[in-house]
Amino acid sequence: MTAMNFVKYVLMLAMLAGFAVEASAQYTVRGKITDKAGEPLAGAGVTVRGLPGAGAVTGSDGNYVLEIPDNSNHTIVASFIGFMTQSRLVKPDGNNDGNFSLDENPVTLDQVVVTGTRTPKTLMDAPITTRVISDLDIARSDASNIQDLLITELPGIEFSFSMDQQVNVNLQGFGGSSVLFLIDGERIAGETLDNVDYNRLNLDNVERIEIVKGGASSLYGSNAVGGVINLITKEQSEPWSVRLNARYGSHNERRYDGSAGFSAGKVSNVLNAQVTGIDTYDVGGTGDFSTVYGNRTLSVKDRLVYTPVDGLKLTGRIGYYQRERDADAIVKDRYRDINGGLKGAYEFGDAGNVELSYSYDEYNKSDWMTNTSADVLNYSNVQHNVRALFNWTFGKTGTLTAGGDFMNDYLLSYQFEDGRSYSQMTADAFAQFDWNVVKGFNVIGALRYDYFSAKKLSSLSPKIGLMYRIDSDRAGHFAFRGSYAKGFRAPTLKEMYMSFDMASIFMIYGNPDLLSEVSHNFTLSAEYFKKYCNVTVTGYFNMVRNGITTVWNEQLNSMRYANDAPTNIAGADVTFSMRLQCGFGAKLAYTYSHEYTTDGSPSMSTTRPHSLTARVEYGREWKNYGFNLSLSGRYLAGFSTHVYADTTFETLAMQRYPGYTIWKLMFTQDIWKGISLNFIVDNLFNYRPDYYYSNSPVTVGTTFAAGLSLSIEEMFSK
């Protein structure tokens, strides 16, 4: 071997040895990416920080295999749309935990919503301004029903007492009869003093809540003058699940709920049950009331989903609700509801879908005589509703939505003369086109026709919305929205035919000649989103005409329903939310509202001009332990309004109602997989009103509560 050949041989051996070392200087990381419920996240990404091109994607089971191309320590990052990213240090020694459990990102705009357009769209792409309260927000509020949740999450809304401590809502100038509450897009029967039974809207199986403020009658018809609040329920996705929750607090407040579900092949089912209660308690101060009535509720609901073939989905549901209120020592108020529905949905590939549904809802009230055990029915509202909905997508051009409803509405009431009953048929048809004009620019237009048989009344409700988006990876995402929508509310059977003796003080009479309540809603908004931060500013202007209310009628010497003076409502919303990878999060929302009559007549509005909600939180999570500490509060400004000066109802006087602030501290611990403990201190700074009135909080000071949650399937998962 010559010297030159020897050198070549040595160099070749060195190169081969180098290649062998380089080939061995790599290692593999394996793991699984799931959400907090343990559900696999298919399509989640895992990258290596500082090594472009190195990465992996999870399969349908959430598992991934990641090849690290060298023999060094590295940080790997797991990410998925709609969730917070997480990072972890890995080493070549092979002892690496590659499993990730991702938190939802509460400020993400990739959340899919349906209420604003009746078609699934991400929150970023929705041309109609929509507020979403996620299941994470619901869990961290520890609310039992929609009332408890909204007062902590949504500024501009206030729940107060009406006569006999019945609950009344005010959403930026609109009362309960003008704010439409839905469950999965379906109306609910029954009302008291123009408000639905908010205790019925519990949160034991709610995935999210979508809120559209302003006129939404072009899609939802009557009662959507002031907006729509839609509770979207969860569907079973796990092979099996069993979850139990218990909460106990001051005044013997208790809440027990549980769910059991399965998903096997073409069938899934979830059963939920909840029991709540609170004792009667004295507020111990001076005011219009001194005692807050206790009550007990029971709610049971079941949802069955069957997919016999690809593209076809059949859903059946049934539910029962009962509430008993201790308004009297002998006579208890009872409220019952039974509801059910069937829905079939068929998808034509990616092009479109059609839905046909039938729903039934019967809400009854009765007096239960504890001394005789007699249960006397005095109110029954029964609704049968048939709906058809069709969507068709024209490629990237846009989506056509069309549909219609037919409803039979029956009402028997103690507020009618001699306990009579009335009924009416309502029918509607609507169409909407969602047009993607060019990239980033979207136009939506809709028109709806409604008919009511009781007055042979009809109405047309148009809507138009515009959105322009600017997307930049460096600067962030901007969205600008503008809309006009007409809202309307037809007179209800009660408002037309009521004849009720109000505790022998005066009568309240209906008015068959009432005109429909109408609003013209104009909205402008600007939104900015970048990674972990979201800011939205919205301005609105509502022109309300023919508002329906009760006024003193001198000829009848009683109250009577009548159309109110023209009213305008102007205001603005500002929201800011942020959640950082370190575990710190913050959310701030402020609302300004100004309501005034256009003819200068006295206003009896109870709308507060300023309201604010805020929450700051910090949480961390380890393998078998995690915690979240949050402080949330709400501020409602004082206001002045006209009230009747005396029982003659002939003169008005100015009344001042003070503002107040209440804060709540909540500490949540995940002490082991599937086991969580909650500790709550409500009214942290011990606020108590100087005088208890209908618009004051009914708190008696600082209260305490504790809760326990068990997720059985997580406890037994690997």
- Total Cβ atoms within 10 A of residue 684: 16
Q: Can you give the pLDDT at residue 119?
A: 79
**Residue 656 in tokens:** 């001042």
The DSSP annotation for 362-417 comes to EEEEEEEETTTTEEEEEEEEEEEEEEEEEEEEETTTEEEEEEEEEEEEEEEETTBG
Q: Can you give the pLDDT at residue 56?
A: 85
For residue 26, the SS3 value is coil
Q: What is the pTM of this model?
A: 0.85
Cα–Cα distance for residue pair 321/326, rounded to 1 Å: 17
CB 494, CB 411: distance < 8 Å: yes
**Could you tell me the pLDDT band of residue 21, with boundaries at 50, 70 and 90?**
very low
Which DSSP state fits 418?
Answer: G
Q: Is residue 650 scored above 90 in pLDDT? A: no
Q: What is the mean pLDDT of residues 393-416?
A: 94
The proportion of the chain whose per-residue pLDDT surpasses 90, expressed as a percent, equals 60
Q: Is residue 19 scored above 50 in pLDDT? A: no
Q: Is residue 261 scored above 70 in pLDDT? A: yes
> Which amino acid does the sequence have at 527?
E
Cα–Cα distance for residue pair 241/339, rounded to 1 Å: 24
More confident: 612 or 18: 612
CB 462, CB 446: distance < 8 Å: yes
Cα–Cα distance for residue pair 427/516, rounded to 1 Å: 16
Q: Tell me the longest C-alpha to C-alpha distance in the chain.
A: 128
Q: Can you give the pLDDT at residue 13?
A: 45
> Which amino acid does the sequence have at 408?
N
Q: Can you give the pLDDT at residue 61?
A: 83
Q: Which of 39-48, 103-112, 181-190, 655-664 has the lowest mean pLDDT?
A: 103-112
**What's phi and psi for 550, nearest 5 deg?**
-105, 135
Q: Is 474 exposed, middle or buried (0-12, 13-18, 19+ CB in 10 A)?
A: exposed
> Which amino acid does the sequence have at 289?
F
Q: Can you give the pLDDT at residue 713?
A: 86
Q: Can you give the pLDDT at residue 106?
A: 54
For residue 149, the SS3 value is helix
Q: Can you give the pLDDT at residue 509?
A: 95
Q: Is 3-102 a domain of CATH 3.40.1410.10?
A: no
Cα–Cα distance for residue pair 544/568, rounded to 1 Å: 6
Torsion of CA 449, 451, 457, 461, to 10 degrees: -20
Cα–Cα distance for residue pair 598/407, rounded to 1 Å: 36
**Could you tell me the pLDDT band of residue 52, with boundaries at 50, 70 and 90?**
low
Q: Which of 139-148, 341-350, 378-387, 426-435 has the lowest mean pLDDT?
A: 139-148
User: How many helices (DSSP H) and strands (DSSP E) are in the chain?
Assistant: 6, 46
CB 54, CB 72: distance < 8 Å: no
Q: Is residue 611 scored above 70 in pLDDT? A: yes
Q: Is residue 601 scored above 90 in pLDDT? A: no
> What is the average pLDDT score of the chain?
89
Q: Is 389 exposed, middle or buried (0-12, 13-18, 19+ CB in 10 A)?
A: buried
Per the rule left: phi > 0, alpha: psi between -120 and 50, beta: everything else, 193 is: left
Which DSSP state fits 322?
Answer: E
| pLDDT tens digits, 551-561 | 888 889 899 99
Cα–Cα distances (Å) from 692 to 3, 55, 165, 278, 700, in that order, read 105, 62, 12, 20, 10
CB 707, CB 669: distance < 8 Å: no
Q: Can you give the pLDDT at residue 171?
A: 93
First to last CA, the chain: 63
| pLDDT tens digits, 675-714 | 999 999 999 999 999 999 988 999 999 999 999 999 998 8
> Which amino acid does the sequence have at 302?
D
Cα–Cα distance for residue pair 698/298, rounded to 1 Å: 23
**Could you tell me the pLDDT band of residue 45, with boundaries at 50, 70 and 90?**
confident
> Which amino acid does the sequence have at 236?
Q
Whose CA is closest to 579, among 538, 531, 543, 624?
531
Q: What is the mean pLDDT of residues 364-391?
A: 95
Which DSSP state fits 491?
Answer: P
Q: Can you give the pLDDT at residue 105?
A: 63
Q: What is the mean pLDDT of residues 535-544?
A: 95
CB 180, CB 166: distance < 8 Å: no
Q: Any idea where the domains of the chain sit in the sequence?
A: 3-102, 112-715
Cα–Cα distance for residue pair 303/315, rounded to 1 Å: 7
The DSSP annotation for 92-126 comes to TTS-----EEEPB-TT-S--EE-TTTSS-EETTT-
Q: Can you give the pLDDT at residue 384?
A: 98
Q: Can you give the pLDDT at residue 11?
A: 44
| pLDDT tens digits, 180-230 | 999 999 999 999 889 999 999 999 889 889 999 888 889 999 989 889 999
Whose CA is closest to 145, among 237, 249, 290, 277?
277
| Cα Rg, the chain, nearest whole Å | 29
**What's phi and psi for 570, nearest 5 deg?**
-120, 150
Q: Which of 168-177, 520-529, 579-588 has the lowest mean pLDDT?
A: 579-588
Q: Can you give the pLDDT at residue 562?
A: 95
Whose CA is closest to 268, among 316, 306, 233, 300?
306
| pLDDT tens digits, 262-312 | 999 899 999 999 999 999 999 988 898 999 999 999 999 999 999 999 899
Per the rule left: phi > 0, alpha: psi between -120 and 50, beta: everything else, 321 is: beta
Q: How many residues does the chain have?
A: 718
**Could you tell me the pLDDT band of residue 6, with boundaries at 50, 70 and 90?**
very low
In terms of CATH architecture, what is 112-715? Answer: Beta Barrel (2.40)
For residue 137, the SS3 value is helix
CB 84, CB 76: distance < 8 Å: no
Q: Can you give the pLDDT at residue 687?
A: 96
Q: Which of 156-160, 360-364, 430-434, 646-650 has the lowest mean pLDDT?
A: 646-650
Cα–Cα distance for residue pair 86/368, rounded to 1 Å: 56
Cα–Cα distance for residue pair 290/286, rounded to 1 Å: 7
Q: Is residue 16 scored above 50 in pLDDT? A: no
CB 123, CB 130: distance < 8 Å: yes
**Residue 303 in tokens:** 């949802």
Cα–Cα distances (Å) from 247 to 253, 255, 274, 444, 704, in that order, read 8, 5, 11, 45, 11
- Total Cβ atoms within 10 A of residue 319: 18
Whose CA is closest to 158, among 138, 179, 137?
179
Residues 6+ positions from 20 with CB-CB distance below 8 Å:
none
CB 508, CB 498: distance < 8 Å: yes
Beta bridge partners of 620: 627
> Which amino acid does the sequence have at 85?
T
Q: Can you give the pLDDT at residue 183?
A: 93
Q: Can you give the pLDDT at residue 163?
A: 83
